[in-house]
Amino acid sequence: GINAEYMGKVDHTVERAKAEGGLPLEGFKTAEDFVKAIKTPRKIILLVMAGKPVDDTIAMLSQHLQPGDLLIDGGNEWFPNTLRRAKELEPKGILFMGMGISGGEEGARNGPSLMPGGPPGAYEMVEPIITKCAAQVDDGACTFNIGGVGSGNYVKMIHNGIEYGDMQLIAEAYDILHNAGGLTNTELASVFTQWNDGELKSFLIEITAKIFDKKDDIADGWVVDKILDKTGMKGTGRWTIQEAAERNCPASVMAAALDARYVSARKEERVAASSVLQGPSPTVLPQEEKQKLIDQVRQALYAAKIVSYAQGMNLIREAGKQLGWDINLGECARIWKGGCIIRAVFLDRIKLAYQRNEQLANLLVDPDFATELNARQLAWRKVVALALEHGIPCPAFSGALAYYDSYRREKLPANLTQAQRDFFGGHTYERTDRPGLFHCRWSEHHFDIGDLSGRTKGNL
Answer yes or no: are the C-beta atoms of 342 and 162 closer than 8 Å.
yes
- Strand partners for 100: 115
Active-site position among 156, 290, 305, 351: 156
Within a 10 A sphere around the Cβ of 446, how many other Cβ atoms? Answer: 13
- Strand partners for 215: 222
Rounded distance between C-alpha atoms, residue 70 and residue 460, angstroms: 45
Rounded distance between C-alpha atoms, residue 251 and residue 399, angstroms: 9
Active-site position among 163, 172, 243, 331: 163
Whole-number Cα distances in Å, 139 to 136, 213, 348, 372: 8, 33, 10, 25
Whole-number Cα distances in Å, 90 to 94, 227, 409: 6, 48, 49
Q: SS in 3 state form for 256-306?
A: HHHHHHHHHHCHHHHHHHCCCCCCCCCCCCCHHHHHHHHHHHHHHHHHHHH
C-alpha radius of gyration, the chain, whole number: 26
Answer yes or no: are the C-beta atoms of 108 and 83 closer than 8 Å.
no
Rounded distance between C-alpha atoms, residue 67 and residue 38, angstroms: 14
- Closest C-alpha to 27, from 10, 15, 42: 10
- Strand partners for 115: 100
Within a 10 A sphere around the Cβ of 417, how many other Cβ atoms? Answer: 11
Active site residue 163: yes
Rounded distance between C-alpha atoms, residue 368 and residue 359, angstroms: 16
Active site residue 199: no
For the chain, what is the total number of helices (H) and then of strands (E)? 20, 8
- Active-site residues: which are they? 156, 163
